[in-house]
Amino acid sequence: MVSIKDIASAAKVSISTVSYALNGSDRITKETADRIQSIADELGYVPNRAARMLKKRETMLVGVFLTDFSGHFYGDLLFGLKEELNRRDYDLIVCSGRRSHRMIPERAFDGAIILDATFADEELLGYADRGHKLVVLDRELEHANVNQVLLDNKAGATLAVEHLLGQGLSRICAVGGPESAYDARQRMRAVRQSVERMPEASLEELPGAFDKASGYAAGPRIAEAAREGPVGVFCLNDEMAIGLCDYVRTQTSLQIGRDVHVIGYDNIELAQYMQPRLATIDYSKRKWGALAAEQLLKMIEGRPVEQERIYVRLVEGESVGQASL
Amino acid sequence: MVSIKDIASAAKVSISTVSYALNGSDRITKETADRIQSIADELGYVPNRAARMLKKRETMLVGVFLTDFSGHFYGDLLFGLKEELNRRDYDLIVCSGRRSHRMIPERAFDGAIILDATFADEELLGYADRGHKLVVLDRELEHANVNQVLLDNKAGATLAVEHLLGQGLSRICAVGGPESAYDARQRMRAVRQSVERMPEASLEELPGAFDKASGYAAGPRIAEAAREGPVGVFCLNDEMAIGLCDYVRTQTSLQIGRDVHVIGYDNIELAQYMQPRLATIDYSKRKWGALAAEQLLKMIEGRPVEQERIYVRLVEGESVGQASL
DNA sequence: ACTATCCGTAGAAACGTTTCGATAAACCGT
DNA sequence: ACGGTTTATCGAAACGTTTCTACGGATAGT
């Protein structure tokens, strides 16, 4: 592999001159710089990333950690992240799995973005203590080296429940997320508050784990409830809503949007292709990513960071209809 | 940041002893090794990745390059890749975008897996010439440092067309992919061959770009054709099939599975949620990833690599029905 | 013409590891 | 008790950069 040394001897200058020339320092005259540059090109020189990282103590890399690679909104989120990072000359690296956690303390990146339930809070705080910059997207953490971009879960869940209530549905079921999920806890809390505000409304909470299977599993109980009249179901994310619709369609003779009214959360791509179209809560995943990137870069560069929040909107769908009285 | 030196002075041994001890060399007695280990733990030592990379000239990292992060089957593919790599102590890093290409010559990984149209063949061959190990998933390249895991596109496309023909459909439309896509070229070639084998069958080729919009765009022409009797449409991937169904459903009074029979390719998750369910060609994306990882590791370790191929199967769906005669 | 200033380049140390070869102490058999 | 062998540890070089400081020669000012 051709190194800076090879260029130095080919150009009959010292390696420091080569380094300065290639990095565009004004210590070197334009002529020598050009000469060195063309020799470098000719030899096909590419700087060694590891050496540069070691010496400069910076990587120009940001790591994003995901629980898995199959999330339905990762595409947009990562797009937003990457755009923003690239504008500032950083590269994005996506990681998943416990094994890769170690890359943070190994200083493989200048900062990391976390949307990964396999990190415990204490683990993240430990990294922050050691000086690593983090932006967390799936929890709230109080630390000088940690910031977050919050989804407005409260507003979203309130919107969802009020949409159901607004259709004349007073019997509400909510299918929850894993206890460990911050988003799930926040959404469920808002659900309770919204229902409590309506004296005539009732709420039943069903357990769930943010996956299709838990939506499906909630099916029997919901079908039972629906026998006594229309029921409005808020699944705390779209995947569960889809699982529930699956159950209702294949295992019961109930009709979605008439007997069982379903609304989800996240507006994943699938939602718009469901028949009937799934009502859901939407927010800009790109913006979420872009803000996360912006915050992280500010931290890395030592600029002040302001708290950001992503707003939500209701997407209507035929999975929620007017309650027939 | 605590380094091997700090441990050395804390333990009153040389840095080489620390290095040997921490790496489990048998040059060091168990007692000192344990002592050093516990001091390292106490100080919270984590090795510096850059330094190790530089010295060892290996990274234990594999990069996978994707055109974007939104592909519908990336989740499974990456899962297969990651599992296999982790079993062998390698970490996976996902990259996208032209900017990140440079990580290959910069020796940021021990090898790379390419499923990314933004790489030109010549670019990849250039890296291979410089000794970088590659596995390509979206093309075929002849080079000692390049291997591929091939999808059986020919078999899949043949299966799809024969399924349509088998339902009594003799007027076939095929919605193609970008000219630059290897998969698209292979599939289309097989389509032509299959249709030609049936003297009474006719084929019309429509342009496409593997995205939903091109499926939608093919809609008018297909609707026109369907006015003269049922037509079988093979969209070279599921996304286009979904776009086409969208058009037919919203812009025409034709019925899918009766007037227009649609089959896709890839069996993305969405396919099973379409109404009617989309017929498609399925193959194991996990296995695809696992084989790619296995090949790359063999190359890195200098073991012989055998050519692999992923097999396909037909998934029936109501989007293709019996042609009413 | 002589010192002071500046400018372009060179030398060398450092970043944090790994690993080869050297060294000194302990062991063994005779 | 002695040379020879083994054993545990150490010293130093190297990986490929960056960057501080030093240096020598040219230019400029008086």
Q: Which residues pair with B169 in a beta bridge?
A: none
Closest Cα to residue B160, out of B149, B150, B148, B175? B175
The mean of the pLDDT values for chain A is 95
Cα–Cα distance, B155 to B311 (Å, whole number): 8
Verify whether the Cβ–Cβ distance B270 to A273 is below 8 Å. yes
| SS3 state of residue B278 | coil
As a 3-state breakdown, chain A gives helix, strand, coil percent values, each rounded to 5, of 45, 20, 35
Neighbouring C-beta atoms of residue B68, cutoff 10 Å: 15
Verify whether the Cβ–Cβ distance B54 to A50 is below 8 Å. yes
Asked if omega into B276 is within 30° of 0 (cis), the reply is: yes
Protein-proximal nucleotides of chain C (any atom < 7 Å from a CB): 7-12, 14-21
**pLDDT one-digit tens code per residue, A22-77:** 999 999 999 999 999 999 999 999 999 999 999 999 999 999 999 999 888 899 99
Whether B15 and B55 have beta carbons less than 8 Å apart is answered as: no
pLDDT above 60: residue B325: no
What is the least distance, in Å, from the CA of A217 to any CA of chain B?
18
Distance A10 CA to D22 C1' (A): 24
A153-283: same fold as A4-47? no
Residue range B123-130: mean pLDDT, rounded = 98
Verify whether the Cβ–Cβ distance A93 to B93 is below 8 Å. yes
What is the least distance, in Å, from the CA of B189 to any CA of chain A?
31
Q: Which residues of chain A lie closer than 8 angstroms to B107, CB-CB?
A: 1, 48-50
Among residues of chain A, what percentage have pLDDT more than 90? 93
Chain A (210-229) residues lying within 8 Å, Cβ to Cβ, of chain B: none
Whether B113 and B124 have beta carbons less than 8 Å apart is answered as: no
pLDDT above 80: residue A105: yes
**pLDDT one-digit tens code per residue, A9-18:** 999 999 999 9
Q: Nearest nucleotide by C1' from A16 CA?
A: C10
**Candidate CATH numbers 3.40.50.2300, 3.10.20.30, 3.30.360.10, 2.170.150.70; the one for domain B57-150+285-310:** 3.40.50.2300
Please name the amino acid found at residue B221.
R
CB pairs under 8 A between A and B: 118
Chain A (250-279) residues lying within 8 Å, Cβ to Cβ, of chain B: 269-270, 273-275
Residue range A107-126: mean pLDDT, rounded = 97
**pLDDT one-digit tens code per residue, A174-226:** 999 999 899 999 999 999 999 999 999 999 999 999 999 999 999 999 999 99
Best of B69, B116, B319 to substitute, by most chain A Cβ atoms within 10 angstroms, is B69
* Fold classified for A153-283: Rossmann fold (3.40.50)
Q: Output A162-167 pairs: Cβ under 8 A, ≥24 positions apart.
A: A162/A194, A163/A263, A163/A279, A163/A314, A163/A316, A163/A320, A164/A232, A164/A233, A164/A234, A164/A261, A164/A263, A164/A320, A165/A194, A165/A195, A165/A198, A165/A201, A165/A232, A167/A232, A167/A261, A167/A320, A167/A321, A167/A322, A167/A323
Distance B206 CA to C16 C1' (A): 59
What is the least distance, in Å, from the CA of A82 to any CA of chain B?
9
Tokens of A111: 């900062």
Residues 185-244 of A with CB under 7 A from strand C: none
Tell me the pLDDT band of B60, cut-offs 50, 70 and 90: very high
Cα–Cα distance, B291 to B60 (Å, whole number): 18
Closest Cα to residue B238, out of B268, B283, B203? B268
Closest Cα to residue A96, out of A73, A74, A79? A74
Within 13 Å, how many C-alpha atoms sit on residue B9's CB side?
A: 4
**pLDDT one-digit tens code per residue, B161-204:** 999 999 999 999 999 999 999 999 999 999 999 999 999 999 99
Return the pLDDT at A2: 95
Residues 30-49 of B with CB under 7 A from strand D: 32
Return the pLDDT at A322: 84
Residue range A111-131: mean pLDDT, rounded = 97
- Angle (CA) B282 B288 B291, round 5°: 150
Among residues of chain B, what percentage have pLDDT more than 90? 93
Q: Which residues of chain B lie closer than 8 angstroms to A273, CB-CB?
A: 242, 270, 273-274
**pLDDT one-digit tens code per residue, A246-275:** 999 999 999 999 999 999 999 998 899 888
Domain spans, chain B? 4-47, 57-150+285-310, 153-283
Burial of B43 (0-12, 13-18, 19+ CB in 10 A): middle
Distance B29 CA to C26 C1' (A): 14
Least confident of A15-19, B54-58, B72-76: B72-76
Verify whether the Cβ–Cβ distance B69 to A82 is below 8 Å. yes
Tell me the pLDDT band of B275, cut-offs 50, 70 and 90: confident
For residue A92, the chain B residue with the least C-alpha distance is: B95
What is the least distance, in Å, from the CA of A40 to any CA of chain B?
14
Whether B189 and B234 have beta carbons less than 8 Å apart is answered as: no
Whether A120 and A110 have beta carbons less than 8 Å apart is answered as: no
Burial of B276 (0-12, 13-18, 19+ CB in 10 A): middle
Tell me the pLDDT band of B324, cut-offs 50, 70 and 90: low
| SS3 state of residue A92 | strand
Asked if omega into A276 is within 30° of 0 (cis), the reply is: yes
Homologous superfamily assigned to A59-151+285-311: Response regulator (3.40.50.2300)
Q: Nearest nucleotide by C1' from A11 CA?
A: C9
pLDDT above 80: residue A325: no
| SS3 state of residue B169 | coil
Cα–Cα distance, A278 to A261 (Å, whole number): 10
Distance A11 CA to D27 C1' (A): 27
What is the per-residue DSSP string for A1-58?
Answer: ---HHHHHHHHTS-HHHHHHHHTT-TTS-HHHHHHHHHHHHHHT----HHHHHHHHS-
What is the per-residue DSSP string for A210-271?
Answer: SSHHHHHHHHHHHHHHHTTS-EEEEESSHHHHHHHHHHHHHH-S--BTTTEEEE-SS--GGG
* Fold classified for B4-47: 434 Repressor (Amino-terminal Domain) (1.10.260)
Start-to-end C-alpha separation, chain A:
78
Verify whether the Cβ–Cβ distance A270 to B275 is below 8 Å. no
- Angle (CA) A295 A296 A298, round 5°: 65
Q: Which residues of chain A lie closer than 8 angstroms to B76, CB-CB?
A: 70
Q: With the C-alpha atoms ordered A249, A273, A264, A159, is the resulting torsion angle positive or negative?
A: negative
Return the pLDDT at A168: 94
